[in-house]
Amino acid sequence: DTEVTQTPKHLVMGMTNKKSLKCEQHMGHRAMYWYKQKAKKPPELMFVYSYEKLSINESVPSRFSPECPNSSLLNLHLHALQPEDSALYLCASSQDPPGQGALEQYFGPGTRLTVT
Amino acid sequence: GDSVTQMEGPVTLSEEAFLTINCTYTATGYPSLFWYVQYPGEGLQLLLKATKADDKGSNKGFEATYRKETTSFHLEKGSVQVSDSAVYFCALGVSGNTPLVFGKGTRLSVIA
């Protein structure tokens, strides 16, 4: 089973709201990722967690706050977002951290976020 | 730095036509190569992969061969279907603390 699940599927939030995106995998993967994807563009890496520790932050604004409560869960906390943050947010996982062992990532279906 | 270049889309084909989507790469070291597919409204799905030169990845009728001499990993399918309409991303992975590098994606539309 190579399933990564994400909730919610769609989210509409105002610029003053606080919300969270959730991601879960039960494949025993040791790395998890957050990506942002704008229309007609490839995914842009935001964060990487390796062995539940933040290993890569691609200079993401602090209004995005990742959290990895355990090896199966990954959250993305959202606060004071801007309309330009509207996008598809994708979670992914890989068996091994970047550059180690198997490199392929498995993606969830994404959360379509609209900031009004 | 490491990079992936894909042919510009969109690509429009009739059902049962032959498909080629070109992908070339630049990498230090010896990358693994991947094709991902994204259907409308969905996340990316791993379509196939190759981890060393001359490997051929295949899945669902799609194939790609890792060509080190031409630094290429072109995606092919002998007979496309309407259900193959999607965006296809070529990607590479290398050693070191570097996640996957994606190409810009190629949109394929197959018409009946």
Has residue B3 got a pLDDT over 90? yes
Phi-psi category of residue A80: left, alpha or beta, with phi > 0 → left and psi -120 to 50 → alpha: left
The confidence score (pLDDT) of residue A7 equals 97
Q: Is A48 on the interface with B (CB under 8 A)?
A: yes
Has residue B97 got a pLDDT over 70? no
Q: How far, in Å, CA of A64 to CA of A79, rounded?
A: 7
Taking every pair of Cα atoms in chain B, the longest distance, rounded to a whole number of angstroms, is 45
CA B95 to chain A, closest CA, distance in angstroms equals 4
Q: How far, in Å, CA of B43 to CA of B41, rounded?
A: 7
The confidence score (pLDDT) of residue B26 equals 94
Taking Cα atoms as reference points, which of B82, B99, B101 lies closest to residue B90? B101
**Do B97 and A42 make contact, defined as CB atoms within 8 angstroms?**
no
Has residue B96 got a pLDDT over 70? no
Q: Is A7 on the interface with B (CB under 8 A)?
A: no
Using pLDDT thresholds of 50, 70 and 90, give the confidence band for residue A1: low
Q: Is B25 on the interface with A (CB under 8 A)?
A: no
Mean pLDDT of B56-65: 97
Mean pLDDT of A28-42: 94
Has residue A110 got a pLDDT over 90? yes
Q: Is A108 on the interface with B (CB under 8 A)?
A: yes
Collect all residues with Cβ–Cβ distance below 8 Å to B14 and sequence separation of at least 6. B110, B111, B112
Using pLDDT thresholds of 50, 70 and 90, give the confidence band for residue B16: very high
**Do B44 and A43 make contact, defined as CB atoms within 8 angstroms?**
yes
CA A94 to chain B, closest CA, distance in angstroms equals 10
Has residue B63 got a pLDDT over 70? yes
Q: Is A1 on the interface with B (CB under 8 A)?
A: no
**Do B94 and A99 make contact, defined as CB atoms within 8 angstroms?**
yes
Mean pLDDT of A101-105: 81
The confidence score (pLDDT) of residue A51 equals 93
The confidence score (pLDDT) of residue B30 equals 84
Using pLDDT thresholds of 50, 70 and 90, give the confidence band for residue B35: very high
**Do B96 and A107 make contact, defined as CB atoms within 8 angstroms?**
no
**Do A43 and B102 make contact, defined as CB atoms within 8 angstroms?**
yes
Greater confidence, B76 or A103? B76
A65 touches A74 (CB < 8 A): no
Taking Cα atoms as reference points, which of A71, A91, A64, A103 lies closest to residue A6? A91
The confidence score (pLDDT) of residue B65 equals 98
Position A44, amino acid: E
Has residue A99 got a pLDDT over 80? no
Taking Cα atoms as reference points, which of B95, B22, B39 lies closest to residue A98? B95
pLDDT digits (tens, 9 = 90+) for B65-75: 999 999 999 99
**Do B99 and A43 make contact, defined as CB atoms within 8 angstroms?**
no
